[in-house]
Structure 1
Amino acid sequence: MASAEDANGKVNLLEDNRIDSGVESFQYFTKDDPYNNPVRDSTSESSEARDKCSSNTEERLDSAYGSSSLTVENFSEILIEGCNISESEDDSAKNTELEHKENLLTNITEDGDTLLHLAIIHEDEHFAHQLIQLFPKDVLDIQNNLYQVQKTQPHPLLFTPSTRTPLHLATYLNLSSVVRDLVESGASLELQDQEGNTPLHMACEQGWVECATEMIRNVSSSKLAPVLESQNWRGLTSLHLATVNRQHRLMKLLMKKGADLNIQEGTSGKTPLHMAVELHDIVSMTLLLNKGADVDVPMFNGCTPLHLAVGRQDAAIANLLCQSGADKMLRNIEDETALDLAGGNDDILALFPFDDIQIQGRSVVRVPF
């Protein structure tokens, strides 16, 4: 009777001290899991091991990211069980321990995650740095098929199916030091996720200047060219995304690295200048024009940036384009010049004088009927 009460007391004590990770990790434990058995044989477990396990549990902070195959609590247990890479080992047990660690490090979960993916998702930068030094290049470029669940701010990962490399994840979470290590270790900049985005696309969309800088800082022009020209499934390059999101620092960085200023997106043929015109973003327009962007590049339908400005009745933007040398007589596939789209706007019509028709020294403005 006494032994039964003692056993119950041990169970209650361990249950009171257990800290729930908050990600429903209990559902992945089985009866064979040693961490699922609340009653331990005192002769098989030293007090030092219990203290170590307790300390790691108390100090662990929930990252609020859920994985269907490896939770935050499981992740801590892996570290407890001997995945501390810098830990010294006895010569007699070295081979066994190394084999055990190799299995843990190279294991891929049912969601396609390596331990590196999980270290980055949980923002354990120190452990991620260690793993990067151990993994070969092929492992660094493994793409997962993880369904990330949006849990909390400020860093909710996508809650749609993703095929992301560790570099995608590090970029999304703005872990610039991890990005640097991955690139220096040979991680690919060209791999695309389920939306066709490279890591550089993601940096330009999110506005992560440091991550983008670490990606392309020491990359040769020949290797960087295909990355800068890569289009996602919406037909957008990194420069298009930087322009659309008004990321002027990133635009300057990409221009400095040789991005094509006149590159057309894949759906309608807009250049970054077309997009800046649509956004009435004079800063972006000035950056592009000062660096030599072609003011007269047509879209697939023949519309130039001036067509777009006049069609939107944007006299200030139309004036800037005219001052930059825009050709006022170019026609789109509807055989329309920019003037044909003016719609009687006097401010815009004033930009289109006919010098050969003058009355008392003043230009006559043709008003379309």
Structure 2
Amino acid sequence: MERSMSHMDYLHTEPKQGKMQQQLTEERFDSGVDSLKEDECYNKIVEEMCSLDVSSPLDESTFTHEVWKDEVTEDGDTYLHLAVIHGAEDYAIQIIKQSVKDPFLNRQNNQRQTALHLAVITEQPHVVERLLMAGCDPCLVDQNGNTALHIACKRGSMACFSVLTQINTQHLRSVLSFPNYNGHTCLHIASIYSYLSMVENLVQLGADINAKEQCSGRTSLHLAVDLQNLALVHQLIALGADANSLTYGGYTPYHLTLGRQNRDIQQHLYERTAQELRTLPESESEESEEEMMSDDEYMYDDIQFGGK
């Protein structure tokens, strides 16, 4: 075992240079679990977890003297990370009880995942609740700039989403407006994955429906056109999305319907687009189609719109 102290990223941390240009790769949801299981120390770790005496309350002054809190695997996972990864809820809760308001709760592994990230990934809303109530920071981001709420939106986990938006909500507005390293807010992600109920909930919670993703300035309505998702287009318009919002290249959502198959989407947006904005920007006329299909389109969480 090695001992380390992980660096913690907060929402105000500037993205590393180049992050915005990289495609968003799938999170290592196993957090190195497969490699860990093959490691000869794995069984030893499990045995040590079982033998941990975390049943009696501790005074805050003893936090720094708990040696087991400094133990990490080669993937940077603490005992709490491991308990969450393996779905050992009883162990996780015991550890959380002994770590209330302790910085240990916010330790990040080599993927910069906290136990909160992992609890969302493994769909354990009860552990998410315990972590938040014990003081786990929902503003921390992983190596892709995702908060736990970003991940809940990506996975469509309404159970974890509900807990994250109802407990310790003083940071909620900040989380809702914060873009990950690919420039996507939680609303952008929910739109990309077509989680309609989540989209509605996010807007009701205060998410900016006209927020522009940072790569090319698309709003969720632009993304809905890219997805050719008529239901999402209807929902966003009903929730107040601006059909006249322009990308950084000067394109309205209607412009993105040109040359695409769904005529219902095109007609729906044509009627709601200001007359002076219905024609393509003149300066870009020769490159308009190429611009609208540029590389940044393929940065939407590496799904390329469901492979379509």
TM-score by length of 2: 0.73
Q: How does 1:198-213 map to 2 (within 5 A)?
A: 198-213=147-162
Distance 1:134 1:69, change over 3 A: farther
1:137 positional shift: 3.6
The within-5 A match list for 1:94-133 is 102-133=66-97
1:276 lines up with 2:224 in the alignment: yes
TM-aligned CA deviation for residue 332 of structure 1: 4.8
The CA deviation string for residues 288-338 of structure 1, in whole angstroms up to 9 with x for no partner, is 111111111000100000101124253210111134x2213215543579x
Contact 1:69/1:111 (8 A) holds in 2 = no
Give the counterpart of 1:234 among 182, 205, 215.
182
Partners of 1:87 and 1:197 in 2: CA distance: 35
2:280 matched to 1:328? no
One-letter identity of the residue aligned with 2:203: M
Question: 2:164, 2:50 → 1: CA distance?
Answer: 33
- Aligned-residue Cα RMSD (Å) equals 2.9
Secondary structure, aligned partner of 1:329:
helix
Q: Once the two structures are aligned, what percentage of the paired residues are identical? A: 34
Partner of 1:256: 204
Q: What's 2:241 paired with?
A: 293
> Cα distance 1:207–1:294, how it changes in 2: closer, same or farther (>3 A)?
same
**Aligned mate of 1:85, from 54, 67, 71:** 54
Listed one character per residue, the Cα deviations across residues 331-369 of structure 1 (whole Å, up to 9, x for unaligned) are 5543579xx99xxxxxxxxxxxxxxxxxxxxxxxxxxxx
What is residue 164 of structure 2 aligned with on the other side? 215
Please say if 1:139 is aligned against 2:79.
Answer: no
Residue 151 of structure 2 aligns to a residue whose secondary structure is helix
Counterparts in 2 of 1:80 and 1:180: CA distance versus 1, 3 Å = closer
Tell me the distance in 2 between the aligned counterparts of 1:107 and 1:70: 16
Q: Map 1:146-157 to 2 at 5 A.
A: none
Compared CA separation, residues 169 and 294, structure 1 to 2 (3 A): same
Residues of 2 paired with 1:182 and 1:87: CA distance?
A: 18
Q: Deviations over 1:237-274 (max 9, x none)?
A: 11111111111121122112111000000111100000
Shift of 1:189: 1.6
Give the structure-1-normalised TM-score: 0.61
How far is 1:71 from its partner?
Answer: 4.7
Cα distance in structure 1, aligned partners of 2:240 and 2:80 = 42
Query: 1:74 pairs with 29, 44, 67, which one?
Result: 44
In the TM superposition, residue 72 of structure 1 has moved relative to its aligned partner by: 4.0
Contact 2:211 2:219 in 1 (8 A): yes
**Would the alpha carbon gap of residues 303 and 255 (structure 1) be closer, same or farther in structure 2, given more than 3 Å must change?**
same
CA 1:71–1:244: 2 relative to 1, 3 Å:
farther
- Structure 1: which amino acid aligns with 2:55? S
* Equivalent of residue 144 in structure 2, options 175, 195, 206: 195
Question: CA, structure 1 residues 273+260, in 2 after alignment: closer, same or farther (shift >3 Å)?
Answer: same
Could you tell me how far apart the structure 1 residues matched to 2:280 and 2:177 are? Answer: 26
- Rounded to whole Å, the distance in 2 between the matches of 1:168 and 1:130 is 18
**Quick check: 1:69–1:110 contact (8 Å CA) kept in 2?**
no
Give unpaired runs (5+ residues) of structure 2. Answer: 2-31, 290-308
How big is the shift at 1:110?
4.4
C-alpha separation between the residues in 2 aligned to 1:278 and 1:306? 11
Is the Cα–Cα contact under 8 Å of residues 132 and 168 in structure 2 kept in the other structure?
A: no
Q: What amino acid does structure 2 have at the position aligned with 1:195?
A: N
Residue 8 of structure 1 is matched in structure 2 by: none
Count of aligned pairs between the two proteins: 250
Distance 1:79 1:278, change over 3 A: closer
- 3-state SS of paired residue (2:94): helix
Contact 1:295 1:326 in 2 (8 A): yes
Query: How far off is 1:235 after superposition?
Result: 1.1
Q: Is the 8 A contact 1:112 1:144 kept in 2?
A: yes
